[in-house]
Structure 1
């Protein structure tokens, strides 16, 4: 396609059908891939991300685009059907640029809501202009009026974006070695625009770990700032029980869209957990405990527990079932404590050291029963077995505590309030509601 003299605003192309050389629809426009260049040079539009009808996303170079109009985008030649992977230094227009906060060269604060590309003489495409919504003053946390709309040359916002990218890179580097709870606290304390930029720059696994430490309302708000495909990737990295809790807090249509984008196996685990009431063993359990077959040796059981991806709580016990050893498993036979496994010869079968005194939980056991169970057996993980005697998951003590604590305990933690302390507390209160202060007549 020969470059055109007029600019094309890219939001008008989002979702358009993409036709192949024979005129058949192969997918739709999902995004455009750009590359920032040296100061003074306009960003280059490298190509577009096309979502095939099979829901897979591929990259198509701009050289393959034959024509663009208001109703369709047509391709020429052979396209590469390999799954799209964003590379270092690439920026997605809709996912990474839209809603970015910027400052124009004359000092106006605004956010990007569209950009325009234009063909150059050397048959390349460049981002030439940006459509902005000016940021308005706020009163009592709300905008006093809708911001004015601006159209500016790209050069008027390029310095601001460069400075923001450098700040984001520095912040991501600072977060690299932090514990998930500390990363969550940092995200909580950031301004909304910076929080969004940093969240988009973090690796999926690190962002998922931090998500699980945020208050539920902040999880929902931050998830909504991510492009749907990225949000689904983050949910896949979360513990299935935490992902199920988060999805239950989303609007039904949005939740179903995210589940459809997740890998089928991960989505199946989450859907399975969503069938249980939240404050039950089934609603709190993880479907991925450590399970071995009856003929596994103690050495093999310990090797499974040493997997670095297994949490300390989950590594305290191995469950023995008939095949299959994925949940829902074959017939549940029992569980062996890691302390017992460490004291026995490695060549013995793990099934010979099962704790026969410990009865499993049922999926419908309520929070009160689950907490008493943990106290009775002095456990940090407990098996959950259904009526068909299948192991369907395991509850860990951190999930029990999460549901026993006040609903706002994560918010308190984000605000630096220590356990047992409230910002508005007066005298220390006893559990029975009394006070340590004595009345004075």
Structure 2
């Protein structure tokens, strides 16, 4: 039976209690309330909010998040907090979270752990997920090979512009990674077949949907090598006004792409995330 709707009461915000960040972190406030508050926040904002929680509450929230969401949040934490989180989660859940992380971020985290711990986690990961992480760990973290992601947008020359744009619209891609698509000979998984060149997102937007990307390749854009230094990568972005660049090995295989956000992470002071929280 339908009941009569009750009266609606409007309360001044100053009289509302129990849903501010400080109040939610107090004893007696449920994890469910925190999850509701975090639901629409960006991962970086959730990471900052979690760092302000008591350790016990922070870990309770971490356990309640699904692997994908927790992976996004962990990637935004400072190195020390990432290591602490991995130790709390344990190897089984830790491996699941690493699988959900971007390979370059997973490699950075594993690089902060003792070698035996890192290897234990890698062995628990699905081989398909651990393989690109292992390749990244072969490079120094301050080189293009250590900075790059192994999962850029890679296409064959016979891909249509419409298909390329559909790939670039993937919501899981960062704006920087979506700004450039790379064209190769098969296979298209990194390390790919022969690298042919790239196509800029702006160029895709100017072309008819049925056109093939093979006809609009930018072959003149210089490439980065896996051993190029952080300084060289920074100069590359500044010189060519880019936010993403291809990393190609000596055999002309595309092995990944570097984006400007990864460069900034290494150029900023190590405690930049701490400074951000302090300034809130």
- Structure 2 counterparts to residues 62-73 of structure 1, below 5 A: none
- 2:228 alignment partner in structure 1: 365
Q: Which has the higher strand share?
A: 1
- 1:385 alignment partner in structure 2: 248
Alignment equivalent of 2:116, drawn from 231, 253, 273: 253
Task: Provide the C-alpha distance between the structure 2 equivalents of 1:283 and 1:255, rounded to a whole number of angstroms.
Answer: 16
- 2:54 alignment partner in structure 1: 191
Q: Is it true that 1:319 corresponds to 2:182 in the alignment?
A: yes
- Structure 2 counterparts to residues 7-22 of structure 1, below 5 A: none
Task: Provide the C-alpha distance between the structure 2 equivalents of 1:415 and 1:265, rounded to a whole number of angstroms.
Answer: 39
Alignment equivalent of 2:89, drawn from 216, 220, 226: 226
Q: Cα deviation per residue 1:48-106 (whole Å; 9 max; x = unaligned)?
A: xxxxxxxxxxxxxxxxxxxxxxxxxxxxxxxxxxxxxxxxxxxxxxxxxxxxxxxxxxx
Structure 2, unmatched stretches of 5+, are: 1-25
- 1:102 alignment partner in structure 2: none
Q: Which has the higher helix share?
A: 2
Task: Provide the C-alpha distance between the structure 2 equivalents of 1:171 and 1:301, rounded to a whole number of angstroms.
Answer: 39
Alignment partner of 1:227: what SS?
A: helix
Q: Cα deviation per residue 1:144-179 (whole Å; 9 max; x = unaligned)?
A: xxxxxxxxxxxxxxxxxxx97861121122111111
Alignment equivalent of 2:213, drawn from 347, 350, 374: 350
Q: Cα deviation per residue 1:100-148 (whole Å; 9 max; x = unaligned)?
A: xxxxxxxxxxxxxxxxxxxxxxxxxxxxxxxxxxxxxxxxxxxxxxxxx
- 2:194 alignment partner in structure 1: 331
Contact 1:329 1:390 in 2 (8 A): yes
Contact 2:196 2:219 in 1 (8 A): no
Contact 1:214 1:411 in 2 (8 A): no
Q: CA deviation at 1:306?
A: 1.4
TM-score computed with the length of structure 1 as normaliser: 0.56
Alignment equivalent of 2:144, drawn from 278, 281, 297: 281
- 1:267 alignment partner in structure 2: 130
Q: CA deviation at 1:415?
A: 2.1
Q: Is it true that 1:209 corresponds to 2:103 in the alignment?
A: no
Contact 1:281 1:384 in 2 (8 A): yes
Task: Provide the C-alpha distance between the structure 2 equivalents of 1:227 and 1:357, rounded to a whole number of angstroms.
Answer: 48
Alignment partner of 1:394: what SS?
A: strand
- 1:242 alignment partner in structure 2: 105
Structure 1, unmatched stretches of 5+, are: 1-162, 418-441
Alignment partner of 1:225: what SS?
A: helix
Contact 2:156 2:184 in 1 (8 A): yes
Q: Cα deviation per residue 1:291-342 (whole Å; 9 max; x = unaligned)?
A: 1111111112111111222221111111000000000000000000010111
Alignment partner of 1:347: what SS?
A: coil
Q: Which has the higher contact order (CA 8 A, sep 6+)?
A: 2
Alignment partner of 1:323: what SS?
A: coil
Q: RMSD over aligned Cα, in angstroms?
A: 1.5
Is the radius of gyration larger for structure 1 or structure 2? Answer: 1
Runs of 4 or more above 6 Å deviation: 163-166
